[in-house]
A and B are shown apart, each in its own frame.
Chain A
């Protein structure tokens, strides 16, 4: 399959993704006979189809960001939800007129009560803040390896959530409401990005996701990306070859974090309301599960994993009580039979095969 694909002429290889992208944008109106049953609103007590698509797109973006950290650089980050939360809270705290931070700024600078930072400024701010927090977390902790890193990042995620719950300036357990979207604070006047129809939201999310896919892909094939792979395979060998492991690991953390922040910001804008319960450890673990289940290291794989784990529970709502059970069983089965994930990265699949052969050789 892969070989034949690479032999096709250039225009055919460009046409297929183009068609795929057009199909992605068409999805909210999906009405092709036979495919209709894919829609979630066909299910009993089903939810809004475009809304589900939006969530899928946001989580795919999360998975692509986490893939940089886990799949490419090989750093196990169990606190990724922390970055997602920082992105969401940045838009909330600086963009909403209800937020304590905005109110404080209004008082200090004598601004009118309707003043708040515009959405267009909140997004770059969210990205900047998450990137900084990625560096702050990575700086002291990236010297740790493997499982130690996992527990420290998990602690980081929990710290973010508990700080959000217990501080007054984040709204505490009540959270923040009236989070703005591209058209400003949520209200009846928002024609395009309103509360009723999530289709434009989905298009926005999918556009952002596609742009960042291209950007991440370029990064993956650059000098930085190759350094990540080298560090993932063998940090000591990479260091001998002159790769500065720490520097590139920090880069991976910062870039992964800013993708997480971007998706968190989108999520908060669409929801218009967030509170600390949105950012629990279970979500963080689901993120890692998306990446590994889909195929760590392969961008299509992780996006597929994210969509699967978001979409299937929504489509099969009538089996509500069985959902988590089924997901658990599915994870175990996939991992045992396909340890490299459903759509594995070619390089990683080869590595895993090598390891399996070594194991057989060692047991003889």
Chain B
């Protein structure tokens, strides 16, 4: 336990944690939206995110992105990546819903069946992108592609990381600012969409009581599609920010990140949009603290321990389940 190390740079660690947690929070929104409406955990959501990272990688490669510090170019690249990621992830989420989940919903299958189907879908998507990765890492001279194989794909650097300003002794980098600002902007946008628009009202109505909503003329299937697409778009945004921050992707990138994001969603209260934000940021900070305290050996354990402790005292998460109850 290295408490001196933690307290000496507490501000820096908190900031690192927030920028990590913002990405968790964006992915967590996908879990929370689907859970809020369907009472169902979409375990394939981690692969929806993974597809997004590959779409962003492709777009940036096609655009010939280079590390730059001009604000306009960064904005252009980020928005292009965001659109590509949102399209790919949203499309994937929609396809998963249509191909795998809709037939099960028609049969009113128990949630266990949905879970196993989602695992099957995840495997298929991961395998497909495993082959994409082999293809990306192929040697130009036609030699054996094995050296990198399915290990990892580098993403072109968009922003040259540099320190923008200091808060106390914590250094705030430009990437950190982009990640946190973009994530929070997307979340506010989603919150307004759900709470203020006509379509959002439909989502809230179905979340509250599907049968009554159907009687009032809400098209349930369309709402469910909308919810999957919205979750996918948020995952696409997260994918862009992840690529920006870490500069790599691989076929199983969604696996651990998905688990963490799901943990974040449960922590804040699954089904609650603001809970996902709170849970994500909290989880990110806790992880960075734990990594500092234990030389990063135990950071994954810390996340789960926090989860278990919170659930023991607040079985529905910190803010409770409330997609339906929001402004009811």
Enumerate chain A interface residues (CB-CB to B < 8 A).
70, 76, 140-141, 143-144, 146-148, 150-152, 154-156, 158-159, 162-163, 166, 281, 285, 288-289, 292-293, 296, 321, 324-325, 327-332, 335-336, 339, 352, 355-356, 358-359, 362-363
Contact = CB atoms under 8 A, between A and B. Distances in A.
- Most chain A Cβ neighbours within 10 Å, of B110, B126, B211, B297: B110
Interface string B306-327: 0110011001000000000000
B248 interface: no
Contact of B263 (A151, A293, A332): A151
Nearest to B105: A359
A352 B119 contact: no
Contacts of A331: 116-117, 119-120, 123
Nearest to A329: B124
B154 interface: no
Nearest to A166: B297
Given A335-B104, A336-B104, A140 B308 contact: yes
B36 to A, nearest CB: 13
B300 A158 contact: yes
The number of chain B residues touching the other chain, given as a range, is 35 or more
Given A352-B107, A355-B109, A328 B308 contact: no
Given A154-B259, A325-B128, A141 B111 contact: no
A328 B266 contact: no
Contacts of A281: 255, 259
Contacts of B112: 70, 76, 292, 296
A362 B126 CA distance: 36
Contacts of B120: 289, 327-332, 335
A332 B124 CA distance: 9
A362 B211 contact: yes
- Most chain B Cβ neighbours within 10 Å, of A147, A154, A327, A329: A147
A301 to B, nearest CB: 14
Contact of A147 (B100, B111, B263, B298): B111
A107 B299 CA distance: 33
Contacts of A328: 119-124, 127
Given A289-B120, A359-B105, 20 more contacts: A70-B112, A141-B311, A148-B266, A148-B311, A150-B115, A151-B263, A155-B305, A158-B300, A162-B298, A162-B301, A281-B255, A285-B119, A292-B115, A330-B120, A331-B119, A332-B100, A336-B104, A352-B109, A355-B108, A356-B108
Contacts of B126: 324
20 contacts: A141-B308, A144-B315, A146-B111, A158-B259, A162-B298, A162-B301, A281-B259, A288-B116, A289-B119, A328-B121, A331-B119, A332-B121, A335-B117, A335-B120, A336-B104, A339-B107, A355-B110, A359-B108, A362-B108, A362-B211
